[in-house]
Structure 1
């Protein structure tokens, strides 16, 4: 349920009707599911709702037997989310600490692509850390990163810092063995501009975190490939049909090689290896780019910018794919190749007559960054409507083999989120 802490738009799936009736109709399921309480504490929480929100009984008027439904909900919550669990007891008994020293970074940021890097972690207090390092995008761009963090409960990393001089925040969670953090770092205040990231202690077991680029076309010659991980050696293997011609540079956390891909190399994912370090489905060979997708879709932006709320932007990517061995698009063997430099447009989606949403909802730049309009009534719109609406975001890309590929995604431009709750 970390998606609510990481501020990821998510369509929740809840498999308990009584929790839907009593909890989810007012707030996210994650807000409930992130809590751990004794049965007595869950009862107190329900009583708190009755005291602070006395009208909630009437808002839940479709619940005919209040006492019976509330009791069933409390029983379900106590069963699903107890204070003590075997996993928690195991964690408390071991409670590994985040090691000081070098950590390896691997991630992906929409609008920029994959990246790797290193940070140096220093302990400044019982649960406090400072860190500094550099991340390098697959384009070759390097950016300094650094900040200060608190490790709550020994596993929940919350940090404030800078990336390339701009403020960021971080939400990570540590693995059971204390060797890996997974989570996001996002721009402050634009949480929607983010890197989805893994950080692994450099002294942990050999492991490949990423391969950049993650796919090459059969017949490609003299391609530069970067392998990021821990315990790496210069003996790199990317599967049959991929010949490593030269080792450009090699460290235990990063190996850069030059490769040739055979004309008849089999399409598909293969295991990547660098000595004893390995990683599955991190690299693929493909035969052709067959289609592209607009990601994310559906997407949501929020108006703002007049001093009352920050605009919520959307960074789109045009992701290219190969159909895979079965020759059909959208099946399990399709190969995700990576982002392509598409041409972007916002196109009308006619949900009502003469709404002209595309003229008011916002603009998209050459890199796929959508910026919504200002909040509040717009005198230029019929009935002074707000700058809201739903539109198509389209991407077109002229591939090297000739022809142009098209894709579109759905975008809802909606109102600001004026009420920022503590979990946000």
Structure 2
């Protein structure tokens, strides 16, 4: 047991160290990748034709995927490799054997650490693969059939108890994995894909990303923000980054850091914002960037991020993105190359242009009392962007995420607590009777027992505390609690309730949050 625990801690520390390396520019002292492959990897991976190496040359992965492969070599096979060499190798492999942008579509949530995402895969993939790790981890790599079969063999060889666990002991797991999953995965995620070859031929140079980027974002529990991210070259594919922005409430969002570009579009950065180190995981293509920024020590504390390079023409956001019929409000359009007259459709009048520049337009709007409810396309000249929601009444309130996991921590241990962070989304009903999203509204928050067992165990008392005005839940301390029945820990099963005021009428929405134990194994791709 001690050996197993020590191995788990070592793997976790390696994953954290590796993730830090992934977001940092490489050292000039590092050896070149071909030398590392020859002198470090060829001891186990045999040379093949065309300068290929067994196993390595028959896979394609994201930077995080290659990072995990090298970390596995370290923990399971005793590989000795310096941080600089590992960083160089990840860069080379991600650039030459990575994934095209289209191949990461739909599963980037795993790279962006959106750990409360409820995945949607077919039952077979979910049961055979997704019961131990995310389905996204499978979808973010490419192999030929032979390599997929070797991966199956590796799983059973490394974890022989796998066949006795839930969702495997009720079936011939190994036979199904070899005969059904291998052909399925080889067809769905093949090594050879025209999209990759096309991307390699057309990927932009790093110089294309140097300049100023206007950005918009949203942080659950805090609200909307906007600003400018300045990018300067600091090497072939490395950059210095400076961020200057602010939230809608006026609080600052400023900092500096560095970033590195993998595969021609995979942007990874470390930026210290007001004293807190945040990771940047973006897909950067052309004049657009999109992804997520999150705290290095608390990936649950993150914000959606979308940016447009100055000089391009793009409308990024309308803040706030809703307007009640019969009322006036001030909104700000965020983007780049904004010129011309803003238009919000029939029934919405521009009363005053408070401020206008190519980057932002601040307006005072009025919606007619009889303005038709629904989503309006926002136009600035000929430029079309996000929508504005016009509503008369709120039909429904939804808690986002609808299902969430928080984790106890601290309590004298080394693992921090993982918060639950929620938004209250208001939804309206259009003229066609269909629901449409209005936007995120201020709410009053509370938690209740999710079921009778949670009520009996007093989960609300022990599992943690919900901030009533922000939707941020902080779990209890880790470790046994002598005040609980059988001195169990502070886990719980809670109902998350948001109350939104609509002209004096309170509407509520509900979600579920599981408060559970620490996550000891925390790889770059969950």
Same fold (TM > 0.5):
yes
Any conservation in 1 of the 2:268–2:279 contact (CA below 8 Å)? yes
- Residue matched to 1:409: 511
After superposition, the C-alpha distances for 1:345-368 in whole angstroms (9 at most, x for unaligned) are 222233327311111000011322
Residue 188 of structure 2: which of 80, 94, 105 is its match?
80
- Residue matched to 1:349: 450
Q: Does 59-68 or 407-416 show the bigger shift?
A: 59-68
| RMSD (Å), alpha carbons | 2.3
Give runs of aligned pairs for residues 61-210 of structure 1, distance below 5 A: 61-64=169-172, 66-67=174-175, 69-97=177-205, 98-175=208-285, 178-204=286-312, 206-210=313-317
- Residue matched to 1:39: 145
Alpha carbons of 1:393 and 1:54: their partners in 2 closer, same or farther (altered >3 Å)?
closer
- Residue matched to 1:391: 494
Q: Does 2:120 align with 1:13?
A: yes
Number of residues paired by the alignment? 412
Any conservation in 1 of the 2:142–2:189 contact (CA below 8 Å)? yes
Q: Does 270-279 or 354-363 show the bigger shift?
A: 270-279
Q: CA shift at 1:265, angstroms?
A: 2.1
Alpha carbons of 1:49 and 1:290: their partners in 2 closer, same or farther (altered >3 Å)?
closer
Alpha carbons of 1:286 and 1:55: their partners in 2 closer, same or farther (altered >3 Å)?
closer
Residue 293 of structure 1: which of 381, 395, 398 is its match?
398
Question: How far apart are the structure 1 equivalents of 2:480 and 2:149?
Answer: 44
Question: How far apart are the structure 2 equivalents of 1:418 and 1:182?
Answer: 29
After superposition, the C-alpha distances for 1:282-340 in whole angstroms (9 at most, x for unaligned) are 2122112344332222221111113232211011222233333245xxx44x3413322
Any conservation in 2 of the 1:219–1:262 contact (CA below 8 Å)? yes
Alpha carbons of 1:362 and 1:335: their partners in 2 closer, same or farther (altered >3 Å)?
same
Question: How far apart are the structure 1 equivalents of 2:430 and 2:127?
Answer: 44
Q: Does 2:353 align with 1:247?
A: yes
Alpha carbons of 1:289 and 1:71: their partners in 2 closer, same or farther (altered >3 Å)?
closer
Alpha carbons of 1:251 and 1:349: their partners in 2 closer, same or farther (altered >3 Å)?
same
5+ residue gaps in structure 2?
A: 1-106
Q: Does 48-57 or 298-307 show the bigger shift?
A: 48-57
Question: How far apart are the structure 2 equivalents of 1:149 and 1:261?
Answer: 43
- Residue matched to 1:371: 474
SS at match of 1:87: helix
Q: CA shift at 1:111, angstroms?
A: 1.2
SS at match of 2:298: coil
Q: CA shift at 1:114, angstroms?
A: 2.2
Q: Greater strand share, 1 or 2?
A: 1
Q: Does 2:384 align with 1:278?
A: yes
SS at match of 2:372: coil
Q: CA shift at 1:38, angstroms?
A: 2.9
TM-score (norm 2): 0.73
Alpha carbons of 1:230 and 1:262: their partners in 2 closer, same or farther (altered >3 Å)?
same
TM-score (norm 1): 0.90
Q: Does 2:509 align with 1:418?
A: no
- Residue matched to 2:63: none
Q: CA shift at 1:71, angstroms?
A: 3.7
- Residue matched to 2:461: 359
Q: CA shift at 1:231, angstroms?
A: 1.4
Alpha carbons of 1:250 and 1:51: their partners in 2 closer, same or farther (altered >3 Å)?
same
SS at match of 1:121: strand
Question: How far apart are the structure 1 equivalents of 2:160 and 2:173?
Answer: 17
- Residue matched to 1:264: 370
Q: Greater helix share, 1 or 2?
A: 2
Question: How far apart are the structure 1 equivalents of 2:512 and 2:242?
Answer: 38
SS at match of 2:519: coil
SS at match of 1:4: helix
Any conservation in 1 of the 2:281–2:293 contact (CA below 8 Å)? yes
Q: CA shift at 1:50, angstroms?
A: 4.1
Question: How far apart are the structure 2 equivalents of 1:20 and 1:368?
Answer: 31
Q: CA shift at 1:84, angstroms?
A: 2.3
Q: Does 2:324 align with 1:217?
A: yes
Any conservation in 1 of the 2:128–2:173 contact (CA below 8 Å)? no
